[in-house]
Chains A and B, each alone.
Chain A
Amino acid sequence: MHATDWLQFALYLGILTLITKPMGLYLMQVLDTNGRTWLDPVVKPVEKLTYRLLGVDPQREHGWKQYTFAMLAFSLVGVVFTYAILRLQHLLPWNPQTLPGLSHHLAFNTAVSFTTNTNWQSYGGEAAMSYFSQMVGLTFHNFVSAAVGIGIAAALVRGIARSSAKTLGNFWADLVRATYYLLLPICVVFALFLVSQGMIQNFDPYTQVKTLEGAEQVIAQGPMASQVAIKMLGTNGGGFMNTNAAHPFENPTPLSNFIQMLSIFSIGSGLTYYLGRMVKNQAHGWAVWAAMVALFLGSVLVCAHYEAVGNPIHQQLGIAAADGNLEGKEVRFGIFNSSLFATITTAASCGAVNSMHDSFTPLGGLVPLFMMELGEVVIGGVGAGLYGMLVFVVLAVFIAGLMVGRTPEYLGKKIQAKEVKLAMLTLLVLTLSILGFTAWACVSGWGVAGLNNSGPHGFSEMLYAYSSATGNNGSAFAGLTANTPWYNTTLGLAMLIGRFLMIVPIMALAGSLAGKQTVPPSAGTFPVNGATFTVLLIGTVLLIGALNFLPALALGPIVEHFLMGQGRLF
C-alpha cells in the first residue's frame, strides 16, 4: 500500500467514526413512533396521511409474532408487485428501448432478489430493464427492504432493552418512519450530489453516437442517480447498469466513489450507537462497533495486499509488477479503492461492485467471499448487520458463561437454552444453504454449464454465488451465467432462506428476550463492554466462520493461490 492509500483509508475510517454518533442519535428519534426530528414540519403531515391510507394505528404495538406476520405479508405483496411489473414490462410506460418482458424464472429471481435486499442480478440492467422497471419495480424495494431491515434490528434491540414486555414496536410505524425520515431525505441530497459528479438522471432514449474514428456507439441512459443513491444507502447494491459502480456513469469520480463507500456503512455504523443508547450501555454499543471495525480493518489490508502484489503468471509476460492486478478494475479507482470497495460491499450486505471480483487474485477474492460467509456482520447491511451481529453476541456471552461456569447473562437477561437454540438455528440454516446449494450445483450439469472459468476458480464462482444469495449480498463472481431456470430458481430459494429463515428466529429471539425480567448485574456477570468482550466477539465470529467454511475455501481460492504460484492455468 502506498502512503496515499493509507491516508485515504484513515480518512474513510475517521469520517465513519465521526458520523456514527450523530446517525445513532437521529435513529433514536426515527425509530421512536413519537420521536421528533427537524423534518417534522414537512414530513409529519405526510406520515399521518400515510397511516390513515394504510388503515393502521402506529401507536398500537405488535408482539413478535404480529410484527413478523406483518413483515412477511408485506414482503409477499412486494414480491408479487415486482414480479408482475417485470413480466409485463413491455406493456408498461417508460420503455424507450421497447425491451421485452422478463422470463418467469428471471422475474421470480429478480423479484425475490430485490424484496430480500439482496439485489443479485442475473440480468444486465441496460440490456434488460425498462426505466419503469428500474424506477418502480426495483427502486421500491431498495427503499422498503432497507426500512424493513432497520425495523427488525430496532425490534430486536427493543426486545433486549425492555423488561418483562410483550411488544416490540409497530411494524408499519418503523417501515414508514425509516423510509420518510431517514432514507428519503438523505437520498434526495445524495442523488443530486451524484449527478453533480457526472451521474445521469434522465428519461431519454439511448443516445446514438458517431465516434471520432467514425464508428457507431450507443450510450445507455436512464433515471440512474435516484436509484443509485438508495442502492448504496440502503445496502441494496443492485446496479442500474450491468457493471454497477464500475460503470463510469454509475460512479464517475474518486469522490463519488468515496461518498458511495461511506454511505454503505453509515446507517449500519449508526445502529451500533443506537443499540448502546437503547440499552443504556453506550460502551456496549462501541464494543460491538469496535469488533466490527477490527474485522474490517484486517480484511481490507489482506485484500489490498494481494491485489497490489498481483499475478505472477501475468507479470512473467512483461506486465509491470508495480501496477498490481488491474484486470477488471478501473484506472480512476486503482488497486486500493477497488479492494476497499470490494471489502466494504461484502462486509455490508450491499453487493454493489466497482471492480470485477471474478478477476481478483485468489486471496484478494477470498476476502469478499469470506466477509459474506461470516454473515455480513462487519458493520453489515442496514439493520441486517446489527441483528446478525447480535446473534453472535448471544453466542459469545453463552461461550463466556460456559467458560466461567455460570448461567450466561446479556445486559441483565438470562440467556437460556431457547435463546441459544434460536441463535444457532440462524447460523446453521445459512451454512446449510450456502454449502448445500454449492454442492448441488457442483455435481449437476446445470451448475457446471454456467461457469466462465474452470479449475478451482470455477468452484469459487459457484461458492460465491450461493454465499452472496444466502447472505443477501448480491455481488457476484460475475462470469457465472446465472440467467438459467436452475440457477435463477436455486439462487432465488437461497435468498428467501437467507432473509426469512434468519429474520423469523431472530424475531422469536427478540420476543423471548423482551419477556424476560432484567436482573441487575452481579459480581459474576460477564461485562459486555471493554476490550475483553470485543476480542471474545471477534473470536466467536471468526471461529464459527472458519469452522463452517474453511474446507470449502480450501477447495476454491486457497488451492488456486498455490496453483497460481506454480504457474498452473485452466
Chain B
Amino acid sequence: MQALVSELLPSLRATLVLAVVTCGAYPLLVTGVAQKVFKDKAGGSLIIDKDGAVRGSALLSQNFAAENFFHPRPSAAGGGHDAAGSGGSNLGPTSQKLHDALKERVAAYRRLNGLTNDAEVPADAVTASGSGLDPHISVSNALLQAARVARARGLGLERVKALISTHTTDPGLGLLGEPAVNVLALNLGLDTLAPASRP
C-alpha cells in the first residue's frame, strides 16, 4: 500500500504533463495544419450553393423520397439520415423485424422502379447501412433507378446513365474497396442538367 501511495504524486504529475502534450499541443497542432492545408475537408466537405446556403456534406447521405431524385440506402440513423445521430439497425440475421422491413422495402423498390414481382433487387437498395449516412449506392442500384428518374425529369435515359457513370467512384488505387455512386453528387448533377420543377 505504501508503495502504491508513493507513486500517486508522480502519477498525478504525469497525468497533467501528458494531458498538456497529448490533449493540448497535439490536437491544436493538427487542427492548425489541417485548417490551413485541407480547410474544406477539415470542415466537413460542405456543399454551399450560390446563395451561400449549406446544402449538405459531400460525404454524408441525405433523405431523397421524390421520384425525380435518386434514392439513397435506407437509414437507421435517428429518423433517417440524422447526421447528428449516426446508427445502424443492429438487427440480426434471424430478426423478424428486419425480415418484415426488408420484405416491405423490396416490394416498394420494385413498384417504384417498375420492376417485375420476381426481379432481383440489389442488396444495398433495401438494407440499412452501418452508419445510416452511407453516401453511396451500388452501380446496379443506380442503373435500376435511372429509368424512373429520367421519366420524372423528362430526360433521355442515356443522358441519365452517362451521368451515373461520371459520378461513379473507382476503388481507391484501382483496387481498394468497391465502385460506388455518390447519391448527393448525382442528384446535384441532375439538378444542373435539368432543374426539377418542385412543388
Contacts and interface: CB of A to CB of B under 8 A. Distances in A.
Contacts of B56: 209, 211-212, 217, 219
Contacts of A8: 175-176
Interface stretch (B115-123, B145-153, B159-167): B115-123
A248 B135 contact: yes
A315 B191 CA distance: 35
A209 B55 contact: yes
Interface residues of B, number: 108
A73 interface: yes
Contacts of A333: 177-178
A246 B122 contact: no
Given A196-B38, A212-B55, A217-B62, A331 B178 contact: yes
Contact of B91 (A124, A365, A452): A452
B31 A217 contact: no
A195 interface: yes
Contacts of B11: 70, 73-74, 76-77
A455 interface: yes
Contacts of B65: 213
A493 B19 CA distance: 25
Most central of A213, A353, A355 by chain B CB within 10 Å: A213
B194 interface: no
A416 interface: no
Contacts of A247: 86, 131, 133
Given A50-B17, A139-B22, A257-B177, A477 B62 contact: no
B84 A220 contact: yes
A172 B10 contact: yes
A53 B59 CA distance: 44
B37 to A, nearest CB: 7
Contacts of B29: 188
Contacts of B198: 214
A254 B23 contact: no
Contacts of B45: 198
B136 A331 contact: yes
Interface in B89-107: 89-96, 98-99, 102-103, 106
A139 B27 contact: yes
A455 B188 CA distance: 44
A405 interface: no
B8 A73 contact: yes
A531 to B, nearest CB: 32
Contacts of A325: 93, 123
A187 interface: yes
B69 A358 contact: no
A334 interface: yes
B124 A219 contact: no
Contact of B89 (A242, A359, A477, A569): A359
Nearest to A222: B44
A531 B88 CA distance: 43
Given A195-B38, A356-B89, A226 B124 contact: no
A11 B56 CA distance: 35
Interface in A195-234: 195-204, 206-215, 217-221, 223, 225-227, 229-230
Contact of A188 (B30, B38, B83, B123): B30
Contact of B130 (A215, A319, A330): A330
A381 to B, nearest CB: 18
A124 B120 contact: no
Contact of B10 (A70, A76, A241, A326): A70
A314 interface: yes
A91 interface: no
Most central of B66, B89, B178 by chain A CB within 10 Å: B178
Interface residues of A, number: 131
Nearest to B63: A215
A4 B177 CA distance: 9
Interface in B1-50: 3-15, 17-19, 21-23, 26-27, 29-31, 33-35, 37-38, 41-46
Given A212-B188, A569-B94, A354 B63 contact: no
A55 to B, nearest CB: 6
B146 to A, nearest CB: 17
B90 A77 contact: no
Given A54-B14, A65-B3, A126-B85, A187 B92 contact: no
Contacts of B119: 318
Given A326-B123, A355-B130, A202 B92 contact: no
A457 B93 contact: yes
B88 A127 contact: no
Interface in A247-303: 247-249, 252-255, 257-258
Nearest to A361: B93
A218 B83 contact: yes
Contacts of A76: 8, 11
B88 A252 contact: no
B27 A135 contact: yes
B111 to A, nearest CB: 12
A568 interface: yes
Contact of B69 (A179, A213, A362, A560): A213
A74 B94 contact: no
A570 B64 contact: no
A72 interface: yes
Contacts of A81: 15, 19
Given A56-B10, A139-B27, A569-B95, A192 B33 contact: yes
Contacts of B169: 332
B64 A319 contact: no
A352 B82 CA distance: 21
Given A226-B30, A564-B93, 20 more contacts: A50-B18, A54-B14, A175-B18, A188-B29, A200-B44, A207-B57, A212-B184, A219-B83, A243-B87, A243-B130, A243-B131, A313-B94, A319-B122, A331-B124, A331-B136, A332-B134, A332-B177, A359-B91, A365-B92, A478-B88
5 contacts: A179-B21, A200-B43, A217-B63, A329-B127, A332-B169
Interface of A: 4, 7-8, 11, 46, 50, 53-56, 65-66, 69-70, 72-74, 76-78, 81, 124, 126-127, 135-136, 139-140, 143-144, 172, 175-176, 179-180, 184, 187-188, 191-192, 195-204, 206-215, 217-221, 223, 225-227, 229-230, 241-243, 246-249, 252-255, 257-258, 310-311, 313-314, 317-320, 323-334, 337-338, 353-356, 358-362, 365, 452-453, 455-457, 460, 477-479, 560, 563-564, 568-570
